[in-house]
Amino acid sequence: MSEFLENLRNDHQDFDSGNLLDYFPENPLELFELWFKDALEHKEPETNALVLSTVDSNTLKPSSRVVYLKELIQGEFIFYTNYLSQKGKELAVNSNACMLFFWPGQQRQIRIEGTVSIIDGSISDTYFASRPRESQIGAWSSFQSEKLTERKELEDRFIENSESFIGEISRPSHWGGYALKPNLIEFWQGRPSRLHDRIVYESNKTNWTIYRKNP
Ligand SMILES: Cc1cc2nc3c(=O)[nH]c(=O)nc-3n(C[C@H](O)[C@H](O)[C@H](O)COP(=O)(O)O)c2cc1C
């Protein structure tokens, strides 16, 4: 393993990006949307995948996992999950969370810190209804983050549910969306000689303060 990592380090190219970070709108959401569009245009794989980190308030241990950004509503970042999952339980007690987007082809990273709240049930209902039937049954069948004795247990539950659900499937109350309201957004752009750009937007209630950070 160390051999592979060593080779990676040797092969690692300097960031040669021509994407200079030289446009700073007053609102970071504008820059986020611009970068997101760039990432889509450059066919970054899984453009809307982000790493979500939460913290267990008892142990103070952080944990991270990938989720999909599904919507941006009034400047808040929406994702969907199981409210009883590990992240759900952690967020119920400590609403502070951090999102991270990484678009390697663009040599860009965006860190978004903020507080998370459960979104209006009607928005989750609409999204749940738009999902494929198998995903809807999956949401009913998986007790996300709970220990599973064997895979068959999950598959049997899926088959049972597939047979018992008739017609439209309603959203389970333990599944739905969260909105992260950002209070800090950092845009990172790779530049040569490790002299990367880091532009931080910090919210001070009425507007955003913008500053640079050492790379
Ligand atoms: C590309 C990708 C996208 C994912 N999207 C979601 C998602 O939108 N919602 C979700 O609950 N889990 C998603 N997952 C699974 C999570 O990473 C994670 O395993 C799951 O939510 C359980 O997390 P937890 O036990 O830390 O709460 C995704 C995983 C990958 C690799």
Give the distance (Å) from ligand 1 centre to CA of residue 111.
18
Q: How many residues does the chain have?
A: 215
Strands 76-82 and 96-103: unpaired
Looking at per-residue confidence, does 40 or 20 come out higher? 40
CB of 208 closer than 6 angstroms to any ligand 1 atom: no
Give the distance (Å) from ligand 1 centre to CA of residue 2.
29
Q: Average pLDDT for residues 186-215, to the nearest whole number?
A: 94
pLDDT averaged over the chain?
Answer: 93
CB of 148 closer than 6 angstroms to any ligand 1 atom: no
Quick count: other Cβ atoms within 10 Å of Cβ 185?
A: 23
Ligand 1 atom with the smallest distance to the CA of 70 is 8
Whole-model pTM: value is: 0.94
Query: Phi first, then psi: what are they for 95, rounded to 5°?
Result: -80, 0
Ligand 1 atom with the smallest distance to the CA of 86 is 27
Percent above pLDDT 90 for the chain: 86
Active-site entry in 9, 108, 191, 194:
194
Ligand 1 atom with the smallest distance to the CA of 64 is 26
Give the model's pLDDT for residue 7.
75
From 67, 140, 144, 145, give the residue whose CB has the most ligand 1 atoms within 8 Å, as the site to mutate: 67
Give the model's pLDDT for residue 12.
53
Give the model's pLDDT for residue 17.
55
- Answer whether residue 155 shows pLDDT above 70: yes
The domains of the chain, with CATH numbers, are 25-128+174-212 (2.30.110.10)
- Answer whether residue 145 shows pLDDT above 80: yes
**C-beta of residue 202 within 8 angstroms of C-beta of residue 36:** no
For residue 111, indicate whether it is catalytic.
no
For 72-127, what is each residue's pLDDT tens digit?
A: 999 999 999 999 999 999 999 999 999 999 999 999 999 999 999 999 999 999 99
- Answer whether residue 63 shows pLDDT above 70: yes
- Answer whether residue 11 shows pLDDT above 80: no
**C-beta of residue 94 within 8 angstroms of C-beta of residue 57:** yes
From start to end of 28-121, where are the E strands? 49-55, 62-68, 71-73, 76-82, 96-103, 108-118
Q: Average pLDDT for residues 174-200, to the nearest whole number?
A: 95
Strand partners, 97: 114
